[in-house]
Amino acid sequence: MAENVRVIPFWGCMIPVKYPQMELSVRKTMEPLGVELVDMDGFTCCPDPIYFKARDKVQWLTVAARNLCIAEEAGLDIITMCSGCTSTLLEAKFILAEEPELKEKVNQRLKRIGKEYKGTVTIKHIVVMLRDDIGMEILSSTVKRPLTGIKVGIHYGCHLLKPSQIMHIDDADYPSLLENLIQTLGATPLTHTEKLLCCGKGCLDDNMPLQMTYEIFASMEAVGADCMGLICPTCFNSFDIGQILISRKMNRIFDLPVIYFCQLLGLAQGFQPEEVGLHLHRIKIDKIMEKLVKSESVEFAL
């Protein structure tokens, strides 16, 4: 077991309100890894890096800085579970370091509520914490039921990796973070043509987001994926219900379960699908469970 890691979870809005199954999977899977989640009161929306930022960048920076202050006061790192939150909090930190005058302006506003943003807090997406602070060896030591034979189509999403100047997480064109994590769970990570394509959620258009989702699923299907593995609730929203919309509007059935990374980790740690909330997804994971049970019985027979 690694030294006890204590971090502040920044849950954001989508996960606790819309997809609490993702929060459940994080809480379940961090315990065996010795990660202590120190929940803090007072966080608001990060705020979202698309609409709120489009309205007013200074307001966007101010709200983000207020959130960061809460973690600074507690003296602990933040982990994020959503790529949007990761993007907002890391970019706000970057801009406020790049432009001291702006930082001053933001701090004048924060002073009204007795806060001061210093710029000392570290923000990491949970998968980055797993790679950098926990490590593959410890991660693999908690795997009780390797996901042998499960082919996971990888979807990075945009905001974890780009811009790399700010995110500092992985090569934005040839990333390996999710491949390595998924391999550690015993599953087979699948690269595919549209692995890095945007889910389209931030685009104000009736057709384009669905077309992007379509291409991503066609690309995963072409390489024989059993499911999709991802790390962002906004992408999940595009893809889980998105497949239903595609079947209605474009008359094409994909039926590939969309699984948040910590849910995959939970299955590998031996939790039942319901224990990590997989029963709440629109696209069901029955076929994957059948495949897992089969590969377990083969191992038993050997």
**Contacts to another protein by CB under 8 A:** 13-14, 16-18, 20-21, 23-24, 27, 39, 41-45, 47-59, 61-63, 66, 87, 95, 99, 102, 109-110, 112-113, 158-159, 162-165, 172, 197-198, 200-205, 208, 211-212, 277
Rank residues 44 and 141 by Cβ distance to another protein and give the closer one. 44
Q: At CA 52, angle to CA 47 and CA 57, rounded to 5?
A: 95
Rank residues 83 and 184 by Cβ distance to another protein and give the closer one. 83
Sequence-distant (≥ 6) Cβ neighbours of residue 232 within 8 angstroms = 82, 83, 84, 157, 159, 160, 199
The tokens for 132 are: 């950098």
Beta bridge partners of 241: none
CB of 294 to another protein, least distance (A): 29
Rank residues 94 and 135 by Cβ distance to another protein and give the closer one. 94
Q: How many CB atoms lie within 10 A of CB 101?
A: 7
Rank residues 141 and 176 by Cβ distance to another protein and give the closer one. 176
For 206-241, b/e burial (b = at least 16 CB within 10 A) is: eeebbebbbebbebbeeeebbbbbbbbbbbbbbbbe
DSSP tag of 274: G
CB of 71 to another protein, least distance (A): 15
Rank residues 150 and 160 by Cβ distance to another protein and give the closer one. 160
Rank residues 131 and 201 by Cβ distance to another protein and give the closer one. 201
CB of 215 to another protein, least distance (A): 8
CB of 61 to another protein, least distance (A): 7
Q: What is the dihedral of CA 124, 129, 131, 137, to 10 degrees?
A: 180
Calpha distance 92→82 (Å, rounded): 16
CB of 64 to another protein, least distance (A): 11
CB of 168 to another protein, least distance (A): 13
